[in-house]
Amino acid sequence: MKKNLILLLLLALFFKAGAQNISLTKGWKLSIGDNPEWSSPGFDDSGWQAANVSKNWEQQGHPDYDGFGWYRLHVIIPSSIKEKSYLKDSVLISLGSIDDNDEVYLNGTLIGKYGGHKGSDIKRSRYGPRSYKIAANNPALLWDKVNVLAVRVYDTGGDGGMYGTNFNIHMVDIMEGVHFDTGSDFSYGEHNTLGKSIGINTSNNYPYKGTLSFKVTDPETGAVILSKKTDTAHFTTGVPFSWWFTFSAAKKKSYLITYTFKDKKTGVELSETETTPYILTPAVSKIPKINGAAIFGVRPGHPVLYLIPATGKAPLKYKAQGLPAGLKLDAATGIITGTVDQKGSYPIVFTVSNKLGSNTKKFTLAIGDNVGLTPALGWNSWNAWGLSVNDEKVRTSAREMAGRLSVHGWSYINIDDGWEAAKRQDDGKITPNEKFPDMKGLTGYIHSLGLRMGIYSSPGPRTCGGYLGTWQHEDQDAQTYSDWGIDYLKYDWCSYGEIAPRNPNLEEMKKPYLVMRSSLDKVNRDILFSYCQYGMGSVWTWGAEAGGNSWRTTGDITDTWNSMSNIGFNQDKMAPYAGPGHFNDPDMLVVGKVGWGPSLHNTRLTFDEQYTHISLWSLLASPLLIGCDMGHLDRFTLSLLTNDEVLAIDQDALGKSARQYIKKDGYQVWVKELKDGGKAIGLFNTTDSYQTISLPKSDAALKGYTKYRDVWRQQNVTSASGRVAPHGVLLLRVEK
Ligand code: GLA
C-alpha cells in the first residue's frame, strides 16, 4: 500500500515535470511587410520593433493595417524538457492566435502553415489559435542552442497579427494528442433511447491501456443517471478504440455525458463532455399540408420560379386558383413558372392533395418593385466548406434541399467565395474556376428542382478569400450572373477597403453598393441583393434605401455560444429597420456539421444552444442560411430546420424583427409582432443552469392574449412560463 503511494507520488512529480513549458510570451520582434529573407536565422532583426503578443498590430503603431507582417523570436530550447518528459518524441509550439494566415519557420525551415491556397502564397483562413507539432529529432530544432522562430502573418482585414495568450514550447504530454472522437451521430431508438459510438485515438506512439468510463448526468438535478465503464480501452497510433453505448433518456431534454479515459500505467486521465440531443419537432403528417410564406414578390416581366412548399405522402397533386396570365403550374411538381407583366397583388389559392386528403392555403403573388418580402430561406456554402466548395458539393446540397427541406419553404442554394477563376477572359468576362465546370448547367439543375441559385462577389478587386472581385466590371458581372440564371448575390466589402478612402464616410461606404444596385437593375431577372460589410456605418439605417434586401449586421459568426449569443442578443438596435424586402442579417447558421474548409465537425453549440439559435434568428426575421454539410444532415439538425411553426415566425408576412423586451442578468425575453395580430415570444435562459422563466398573464406584452402555444412542440399550453435549460429557450406564439 505504502509502496504504491510512493510510486504514485513519484509518478505525479514525474508528470508534473513532463509538462514543463518554455514560455514564448516575451522577446518577439515585429516588422510590417514581407521579405523571404526574414525567415532566415542569420537575418539581423535588431532594428525591428519590440512586439507585444498580447495585442494586435493595430494597437502597436499600425492602425488599419491589412497585409503581411513578420514576427521573430530567439529562444533557447533546453534538452532538459525532453529528459523530464514521459513521451520524448515530439514538441509542440503554441503561438497564441493568428489573424488570419501564417507560415512558421524554425531556423529557416518551414514547420507549419495555416490557410492559403494557390501555391505557396498564403491568403485566407480564420483568426484562431495555432499550435505546430514537430518531431523531437527534427534537424531544424537545435537543442540547447539559440533557435530562431519566424512567423509570417497575412491579415485579410480588420484586426491583424499574432496575439493571444498561449505562447509556449513543451514536449507533447501523455494525454496530448489523445482525442475522443465524438463525431458520429446519435441514433434514436424507441422510448427516448439514444445510442452512439465513440472512439478514442492518439497520434502518440505509446500503447495506451486503461479504463474508459461513461457517465450521464441530469443537468437539472445533478443526479447521475447512468455510469458504465470498460477496462479494455487499448489504443495507439493508427489503432483507435471504439465503444458503443446506449442510454434511455427519462425526459425530452438534454443530458450531460462525461467520457473519461484513465491510463493504467501512468494514472493520467482525460475527460470530455457532450450533451445529448432531444427532438421537439413533431413528425410530419402524411396528410397534405402547405407550408412556407404567405407572400412572394417578383418584378414585372421577370421570371417567376416558385415551388409550392407542401408536406404529405407522395404523390401530391398541386392546384393554384387565380394564377395570373403568364404563369403555369406543373401539377405534379408544384413548380410555378412564367412571367407577369402587370403590377398588382394577385390573390391565389393553393390546393395540395393526395389519397389521404387535401389542404388549401391563401397566397399572394406581389408583382411590383419590392422583392424578398420575407427573409431568404436557403443554404450557403461558407460555414461548411469555406473555399473548398465545388460543383459536386453544391449539387449535393441542392438535391438534399429538394428532397427534404424545400417542402418546408427552403429555396436558395448559395455559393459563397471560392468559385471564381484566377483571371477574367480577354473581353473582361468573369468565369468560374475548375471546381465549377458549368455554372449555367449547375443553375439549370438547381432551377429544375424548383430552387434558386445564389452567388458571391466583392465590390473590390479581390474577395476576402483572395479570388477575383467585381471592381470595375459591375455591369458585365451582373449580366453574366443573369445569363447563368443567378437569383441572389452576396456582395462582400473585403478588398474594397483598398479602393475606398481610409475611414470612409457614409457616402463612400454606400457607393459600391449603389453602383452594383444599378447594374443589377439593368438585368432582366430578380437578383436578391445581400450586403456584407459587417455593419459598417450602421448599415441597417440606410441599407434598404440603398437597395439592399438584407445586410450583415456583424462580423463573421462561429460555432460557439459566445459568438452566436453575442451576435444574436445584440440585434435590438437594428430591429426597427427590418421590413418586407429588407432584413437585418446576423450571419449564417452554425447548426449541423460545419468547418469552413474541407474537414467538418459537429457544431460546438449544445443542443439547447441550437434551439436558441434557430428561435432567435426566426424572431429576428433573419435570412436563414444553413451553413452545414447538407449531405450529412443528422436527424436532430433536420428536426431543427423543418419545424413549420418555427419557420412561420421567421417568414411572417409583417416582416418585423423581434425587440428585446426584457434583459435581466440571467434571462432575456424577445417579442415579435406577427401579421395576424399575434406575437411570437422567446424566453431565453442565458445562464449555465436550469431556471424557471415566466411572463405573467398580467404583463403588458400578454394583455388580451388568451391562447398560448409552445411552438417547438406544436402544443397549446396554458401559460408563458416554463423550466428552461441552460442556454435554452421556450418559444411561444400567443393569440388574442
Ligand atoms: C467574409 C464574409 C464571410 C464569407 C467570407 C468569404 O469573411 O463575412 O461570410 O463570405 O468572407 O471569403
Q: Where are the domains of the chain?
A: 2-171, 178-275, 289-367, 377-657, 661-735
Q: What is the dihedral of CA 227, 231, 237, 238, to 10 degrees?
A: -80
Nearest-CA residue for atom 8 of ligand 1: 556
pLDDT at 542 over 90: yes
CATH code of the domain occupying 289-367: 2.60.40.10
| Letter string b/e over residues 461-476, b meaning 16 or more CB atoms within 10 A of that residue's CB | bbbbbbbbbbbebbbb
- Ligand 1 pocket test: which of 492, 589, 626 has the largest number of ligand atoms within 8 Å of its C-beta? 492
Considering the candidates 391, 417, 492, 652, report the single residue annotated as catalytic.
Answer: 492
pLDDT above 70: percentage of residues in the chain: 96
Nearest-CA residue for atom 9 of ligand 1: 556
What is the layout of strands, in order, in the sheet containing 327-329?
304-307, 335-338, 327-329
The domain defined by 661-735 folds into Immunoglobulin-like (2.60.40)
Ligand 1 centroid vs 457 CA: distance in angstroms?
10
Nearest-CA residue for atom 3 of ligand 1: 556
The domain defined by 377-657 folds into TIM Barrel (3.20.20)
Mean pLDDT of the chain: 94
**0.85 exceeded by the pTM?**
yes
- Ligand 1 pocket test: which of 101, 414, 417 has the largest number of ligand atoms within 8 Å of its C-beta? 417
Please state the atom number of ligand 1 nearest to the C-alpha of residue 467. 12
Ligand 1 centroid vs 441 CA: distance in angstroms?
25
What integer pLDDT is reported at residue 120 of this predicted model? 36
Same fold flag, 289-367 and 661-735 = yes
Q: Which positions ≥6 away from 431 have C-beta within 8 Å?
A: 420, 421, 424, 425
pLDDT band at 19 (very low <50, low <70, confident <90, very high): low
Among left, alpha and beta (phi > 0; psi -120 to 50; other), residue 429 is beta
For residue range 112-163, list pLDDT tens digits in order: 998 754 333 444 566 788 999 999 999 999 999 999 999 999 987 777 899 9
pLDDT band at 3 (very low <50, low <70, confident <90, very high): very low
Report how far residue 318's alpha carbon sits from residue 672's, in angstroms, rounded to the nearest whole number: 32
Residues flanking ligand 1, CB < 6 Å:
382, 416-417, 463-465, 492, 532, 556
What is the Rg, in whole angstroms, of the alpha carbon atoms belonging to the chain?
Answer: 28
Ligand 1 centroid vs 427 CA: distance in angstroms?
28
Cβ burial, residue 199 (10 Å; 0-12/13-18/19+): middle
For residue range 485-535, list pLDDT tens digits in order: 999 999 999 999 989 998 899 999 999 999 999 999 999 999 999 999 999
What is the layout of strands, in order, in the sheet containing 295-298?
295-298, 357-367, 344-354, 317-321
CA distances from 612 to 218, 618, 712, 727 (A): 20, 10, 11, 7
Q: Which amino acid is at 604?
A: R
For residue range 295-318, list pLDDT tens digits in order: 999 999 999 999 999 999 999 999
What integer pLDDT is reported at residue 125 of this predicted model? 61
Please state the atom number of ligand 1 nearest to the C-alpha of residue 456. 10
What integer pLDDT is reported at residue 713 of this predicted model? 98
Ligand 1 centroid vs 129 CA: distance in angstroms?
19
Cβ burial, residue 73 (10 Å; 0-12/13-18/19+): buried
Q: Is 64 a catalytic site residue? A: no
Please state the atom number of ligand 1 nearest to the C-alpha of residue 556. 8
Considering the candidates 416, 487, 556, 587, report the single residue annotated as catalytic.
Answer: 556
| Contact status, residue 73 vs residue 109, Cβ threshold 8 Å | no
pLDDT band at 459 (very low <50, low <70, confident <90, very high): very high
What integer pLDDT is reported at residue 18 of this predicted model? 43
pLDDT above 90: percentage of residues in the chain: 87
Report domain 178-275's class: mainly beta
For residue range 599-629, list pLDDT tens digits in order: 999 999 999 999 999 999 999 999 999 999 9
pLDDT band at 281 (very low <50, low <70, confident <90, very high): very high
Cβ burial, residue 674 (10 Å; 0-12/13-18/19+): middle
Report how far residue 107's alpha carbon sits from residue 138's, in angstroms, rounded to the nearest whole number: 11
pLDDT at 17 over 60: no
From the candidate CATH numbers 2.60.120.260, 3.30.420.280, 3.30.450.20, 3.30.56.10, the one assigned to the domain spanning 2-171: 2.60.120.260
For residue range 232-260, list pLDDT tens digits in order: 999 999 999 999 999 998 899 999 999 99
Q: Is 556 a catalytic site residue? A: yes
Ligand 1 centroid vs 728 CA: distance in angstroms?
28
User: What number of other Cβ atoms are within 10 A of residue 439's Cβ?
Assistant: 22
Ligand 1 centroid vs 556 CA: distance in angstroms?
7
